[in-house]
Structure 1
Amino acid sequence: MNADLVLENVTKRFGAMTAVDDLSVTVPQGSFFALLGASGCGKTTTLRMVAGLEELTDGTIRLGDKDITGLRAYRRPVNTVFQSYALFPHLNIEDNIAFGLRQRGVKDVAKKVAEMLDLVQLPGFAKRKPAQLSGGQQQRIALARALVNEPQVLLLDEPLGALDLKLRRQMQIELKRIQTEVGITFLHVTHDQEEAMWMADTVAVMNNGRIEQLGAPTDIYEYPSSPFVSNFLGQSNLFAAEVSGKDGDDVLLTAHGERFAAPVGRARSTDGRVWLGVRPEKVRLAVPGEEAPASHNQVRGVLTDTCYAGVSTEYLLRTPWGQEMSVFSANAAAGEPLSPGTEVVAHWYPPHSFVLDRPAGSGDDEVAQYSADPLGIAP
């Protein structure tokens, strides 16, 4: 039986403010689907509408052939796991997990609870109280309590946001394992780009109540559809450029007096004003005395800042036209990072470039809004 979750022309307004704007998306049955976006983009409101916790202003929500738009929350075949866990502190773990089953008069409660504790790898914890568990263990119990009711869709509202970095990564692995094992649809809301890319089969990047781009994480990362996506899912260097022609399968561009090339297949626009983009980890640095390959795109500059980040060193260089450019260099070889003030040539293989449309009215001064936190070290 088809049980895809389908949102069709879904809109939610709060007075004059539109939180979700005519959103249509299909979440395939059995997939791990992530809604990714900044605070206020509409992702949590979308989740709450699916859960039945918010009424739609307009549109429909279907689960397979069944319209669930008007169903009350407790009648929908969905369950939600929240960031706050929401465990009952006065009940032990067994009673927390079994709460929904007992409300519905389900038999064999002890057996089902034991199965859930095995699934979340916490056997033997049935008689403990939530206060005796770590944050990660409490989150697993919250997950078990939701899954024991066998929902068709599990909704995850920033479920790992309260965990520290190491525990969050462990729980990401666990969530993906559990989703694969139980095979039900997971709809995951997060603002954490790495979390979405790590776990989801499909990512929908939301902005201002709409889906800006939807696809597999690799497709969105390698071929973003807009400047917003290119710098929300990862980071990008974007240069205001003009298309000057074509050469075979390449688009030829000029930017600030320099010539560049990019594949036609990685260009959202092949005419007029564009953004030329490249990811920081695709760029290499040539120091004085080294020659950058003549076939590579090249930008000369001076290093202005260095950040040693363990697996890589992250550099900022200032271009001759005053723009800052990010370069991530893997720490695969011994030696000290380059020092600020070093003159370098940043270069990259042309097929690593991508080209985005640059509408009239957007100029060089707009680069700044697409290049926040260029070293990627903001919390």
Structure 2
Amino acid sequence: MSTVICRNLHKSFDNLPVVQDVSLSVAPGEILVLLGPSGCGKTTTLRLIAGFERLDDGRIEINNQLMADATHHVPPEKRRIGIVFQDYAIFPHLSLAQNVGFGLKRGQSARVDEMLNFVGLDGLGERMPHQLSGGQQQRVALARALAPQPIVLLLDEPFSNLDAALRVEMRQEVRRLLKASGTTAVFVTHDQEEALFMGDLVGVMNGGRLEQVGSPEAIFHQPRSRFVAEFLGQTDFLPGQVTKQGVQTPLGILPQTLLLPNGTAIEVAIRPDDLQVLPDDAGNGRIVSRQFVGIAFVYGVRLNDGTLVHSWQPHENSFVEGTAVSVHFASPHSLPCFHQNHVVPDKSR
């Protein structure tokens, strides 16, 4: 049984489609992350679930109750949802305890104390928001959203105002708290690392459409469209051609049997860890860029046919720009192949 069900959602503004035919479901206690670039429709989808926007068409159910369709609209305050906004929306003139208790009935001070303790702010109820760090303000916003025991919690880019180190710390803490409370959540972000960490499921949106929904591992390793492959990770695309032996590429034969006629032109998605690079004066490429990332170098390599690829190498493999190299597939594992922007089934899997 799903807590949130969205079927064929459509929403336009000034005749411009923003959400197109989006369908998804979130099971009780599950975290779904909507991921995509700015303007892809993820925040509008969240606002439709919240009730801040009216559907043009489709259907939204929360806890088996109809919340919205083309003619029916339950207002936000009657949907039993909690919301954590990008800017937290904490009342600056209210104490922590007053902020957390804002949506509660009188006489529920025990619930306020319980939630402050739950988010690690026990004993700080009398402090004012300006006395808190960014991370503590985030915890207050979360405690306030969870205090009324919502059916589902909606989070819209909640870590975007935090610095990088605190953002990592808070995403770990918020996921732990959500799981500890058993809260069903829909989380919006444009940060792929955040999405892969936070989500039990990740939905990748593009141009108002939901391109793919699946586990973080499936989304990353088994993209169903060229857009998903390109958006997740640092992805390059090698030109290829289907042959009887496999896929012919500038790096040699990729031993995959695709469900396409021989001679069909395709693209092979590769990431930096898919390639091995070794110095070789007679090699098939030349290093044109290098980026040190601490534990490794990421090299940009221009192949002899002009294709640019990237390779992740251990930090001890330090090569200067201009070094001639040979580039090979690092291992024989199957790589996603695309024809006309769609993934091609691999018979060898």
TM-score between the two structures when normalised by the length of structure 1: 0.85
Question: Does structure 2 conserve the Cα–Cα contact (< 8 Å) formed by 1:285 and 1:344?
Answer: yes
CA distance in 2, matches of 1:180, 1:308: 36
CA distance in 2, matches of 1:124, 1:253: 64
Partner of 1:353: 335
CA distance in 2, matches of 1:260, 1:202: 34
Query: Would you say 1:307 and 2:291 are equivalent positions?
Result: yes
Question: Does structure 2 conserve the Cα–Cα contact (< 8 Å) formed by 1:273 and 1:359?
Answer: no
Match of 2:267 among 272, 275, 281: 275
Structure 2 counterpart of 1:52, which letter?
G
Question: Does structure 2 conserve the Cα–Cα contact (< 8 Å) formed by 1:262 and 1:354?
Answer: no
Match of 2:305 among 314, 321, 327: 321
Deviation string, structure 1 residues 62-107 (Cα, Å, up to 9, x no partner): 01321011100100111110110100000000000001003xx4x3
Say which SS state the counterpart of residue 126 (structure 2) adopts.
Answer: coil
Say which SS state the counterpart of residue 219 (structure 1) adopts.
Answer: helix
Query: Would you say 1:173 and 2:172 are equivalent positions?
Result: yes
Partner of 1:112: 111
Query: Would you say 1:149 and 2:148 are equivalent positions?
Result: yes
Question: Does structure 1 conserve the Cα–Cα contact (< 8 Å) formed by 2:238 and 2:270?
Answer: no
Give the superposed CA RMSD. 1.8
Aligned length: 335
CA distance in 1, matches of 2:184, 2:175: 11
Structure 1 counterpart of 2:305, which letter?
W
Partner of 1:96: 99
Give how far 1:289 is off.
Answer: 8.3
Question: Does structure 2 conserve the Cα–Cα contact (< 8 Å) formed by 1:274 and 1:355?
Answer: yes
Structure 2 counterpart of 1:276, which letter?
V
Question: Does structure 1 conserve the Cα–Cα contact (< 8 Å) formed by 2:227 and 2:341?
Answer: no
Change (3 A) 1:260 1:358: farther
Say which SS state the counterpart of residue 161 (structure 1) adopts.
Answer: coil
Give how far 1:352 is off.
Answer: 4.6
Say which SS state the counterpart of residue 223 (structure 2) adopts.
Answer: coil
CA distance in 2, matches of 1:255, 1:141: 54
Give how far 1:345 is off.
Answer: 1.3
Give how far 1:358 is off.
Answer: 3.1
Partner of 2:207: 208
Question: Does structure 1 conserve the Cα–Cα contact (< 8 Å) formed by 2:60 and 2:66?
Answer: yes
Say which SS state the counterpart of residue 68 (structure 1) adopts.
Answer: strand
Partner of 2:88: 85
Query: Would you say 1:340 and 2:340 are equivalent positions?
Result: no
CA distance in 1, matches of 2:183, 2:57: 27
Query: Would you say 1:287 and 2:274 are equivalent positions?
Result: no
Give how far 1:322 is off.
Answer: 1.2
CA distance in 2, matches of 1:116, 1:180: 15
Structure 2 residue runs of 5 or longer lacking an equivalent are 343-349
CA distance in 2, matches of 1:111, 1:307: 53
Question: Within 5 A, what are the aligned runs for 1:218-233?
Answer: 218-233=217-232
Which deviates more from structure 2 when the two are superposed, residues 207-216 or residues 187-196?
A: 207-216
Partner of 2:42: 43
TM-score between the two structures when normalised by the length of structure 2: 0.92
Change (3 A) 1:49 1:262: farther
* Structure 1 residue ranges, 4+ long, deviating more than 6 angstroms after superposition: none
Give how far 1:255 is off.
Answer: 3.2
Structure 1 residue runs of 5 or longer lacking an equivalent are 247-251, 291-298, 361-379
CA distance in 2, matches of 1:170, 1:122: 16
Question: Within 5 A, what are the aligned runs for 1:135-146?
Answer: 135-146=134-145
CA distance in 1, matches of 2:296, 2:121: 36
Say which SS state the counterpart of residue 91 (structure 1) adopts.
Answer: coil
Question: Does structure 1 conserve the Cα–Cα contact (< 8 Å) formed by 2:3 and 2:151?
Answer: no
Match of 2:76 among 73, 76, 86: 73
Q: Give % identity.
A: 37
Give how far 1:359 is off.
Answer: 5.8
